[in-house]
Structure 1
Amino acid sequence: MPTTIHAALTRTVRTHDIAALGARYAAESEQARTLHPAVADAVVRAGFARHFVPAEFGGATGTFAELLDAVAVVGEGCTSAAWCAALQAAHGRLAAHLPRQGRADLWESGPDTPIAAAVVPPAGELTATPGGYLLTGRWDFASGVDHARWILLAAPEPADGGHRQRILAVPRADFSIHDTWRNSGLRGTGSHSVTVDATFVPEHRTVTREALAAGREEKDAARCHRIPYTLVASLIFAAPALGAARGALRAWTALAAGRTTAGGGRFFDDAVAQQTLALSSAEVDAAYLLLRRAAERADQAPLDDLPVALNMRDAVVAVEMLVGAVERLIRSGGARAQVDGEPLQRFWRDVHALAGHGALRLQPAAAAYGRWAAAEAGVR
Structure 2
Amino acid sequence: MSHLSLDAVREAGVMAGKRAADAEARRTLDPDVVELVVQAGFGRHFVPAAHGGAAGGFAELLTAVALLGENCASTAWFASLTAGTGRMAAFLPTEGQREIWARGPDTVVVGALAQAGTAERAGNGWRVRGQWPYVSGIAYSSWALVCAKAETDNGHEPRFFAVPAEAYGIADTWFNSGMRATGSNTLILDEVVVPRSRSVALADLFAGRAPDANAPCHRVPMKAANGLTFTGPLLGAARGALRRWAELVAGKLRGQASAISGGVERSVYELMLARADGEIDAAALLLRRVAEVADDGDPDPRLTARNGRDCALVADLLASVVDRLLRSSGSRGQSETEPLQRFWRDVTTGAGHAALQLPSVAGVYATQSALLPAG
TM bin, normalised by shorter chain, reads over 0.9
**Which of residues 100, 113, 118 in structure 1 aligns to 2:94?**
100
Q: Structure 1: how far apart are the matches of 2:251 and 2:15?
A: 24
Structure 2: any 5+ residue segments left out of the alignment? none
Matched with 1:205 is 198
Matches within 5 A, 1:8-157: 8-14=4-10, 17-120=11-114, 122-157=115-150
Deviations 1:33-73 (A, max 9, x none): 11011111111111000000000111000100011110000
Alignment pair present for 1:234 and 2:227:
yes
The one-letter amino acid paired with 2:336 is D
Matches within 5 A, 1:155-170: 155-159=148-152, 162-170=155-163
Deviation at 1:302, TM superposition (A): 5.8
Q: Which moved more, 1:364-373 or 1:337-346?
A: 364-373
SS at match of 2:116: coil
Deviation at 1:258, TM superposition (A): 5.1
1:322 to 1:202, Cα distance in 2 relative to 1, 3 A: same
Give yes or no for contact 1:152–1:168 (8 Å, CA) kept in 2.
yes
Structure 1: any 5+ residue segments left out of the alignment? none
1:191 to 1:310, Cα distance in 2 relative to 1, 3 A: same
Deviation at 1:158, TM superposition (A): 2.8
Alignment pair present for 1:330 and 2:326:
yes
Give yes or no for contact 2:93–2:211 (8 Å, CA) kept in 1.
no
Alignment pair present for 1:279 and 2:272:
no
The one-letter amino acid paired with 2:123 is P
SS at match of 2:56: coil
Q: Structure 2: how far apart are the matches of 1:218 and 1:114?
A: 21
Q: Which moved more, 1:159-168 or 1:129-138?
A: 159-168
The one-letter amino acid paired with 1:126 is A
**Which of residues 333, 356, 360 in structure 2 aligns to 1:360?**
356
Alignment pair present for 1:316 and 2:305:
no
Q: Structure 2: how far apart are the matches of 1:277 and 1:72?
A: 20
Matched with 2:246 is 253
Deviations 1:278-300 (A, max 9, x none): 11111001100000011011112
Matched with 1:289 is 285
SS at match of 2:341: helix
Give yes or no for contact 1:79–1:243 (8 Å, CA) kept in 2.
yes
Q: Which moved more, 1:96-105 or 1:252-261?
A: 252-261
Q: Structure 1: how far apart are the matches of 2:236 and 2:171?
A: 29
Q: Which runs of 4+ in 1 moved over 4 A?
A: 217-220, 301-306
1:227 to 1:81, Cα distance in 2 relative to 1, 3 A: same
Q: Structure 1: how far apart are the matches of 2:347 and 2:300?
A: 34
Matched with 1:300 is 296
The one-letter amino acid paired with 2:307 is N
Deviations 1:140-159 (A, max 9, x none): 11111000001111110134
**Which of residues 192, 196, 207 in structure 1 aligns to 2:185?**
192
Matched with 1:379 is 374
Q: Structure 2: how far apart are the matches of 1:238 and 1:95?
A: 21
Matched with 2:207 is 214
Deviation at 1:8, TM superposition (A): 3.8
Q: Structure 2: how far apart are the matches of 1:327 and 1:105?
A: 45
Deviations 1:61-104 (A, max 9, x none): 01000111100000000000000000000000000001111000
Q: Structure 2: how far apart are the matches of 1:305 and 1:339?
A: 46
1:60 to 1:72, Cα distance in 2 relative to 1, 3 A: same
Q: Number of aligned pairs?
A: 370
Deviations 1:149-174 (A, max 9, x none): 01111110134565211111010100
Q: Structure 2: how far apart are the matches of 1:301 and 1:362?
A: 24
Q: Structure 2: how far apart are the matches of 1:219 and 1:169?
A: 19
> Equivalent pairs: percent with the same residue?
44
Give yes or no for contact 2:73–2:234 (8 Å, CA) kept in 1.
yes
SS at match of 1:72: helix
1:155 to 1:244, Cα distance in 2 relative to 1, 3 A: same
TM-score by length of structure 1 reads 0.93
Give yes or no for contact 1:155–1:167 (8 Å, CA) kept in 2.
yes
Q: Which moved more, 1:293-302 or 1:240-249?
A: 293-302
SS at match of 1:34: coil
Deviation at 1:340, TM superposition (A): 1.0
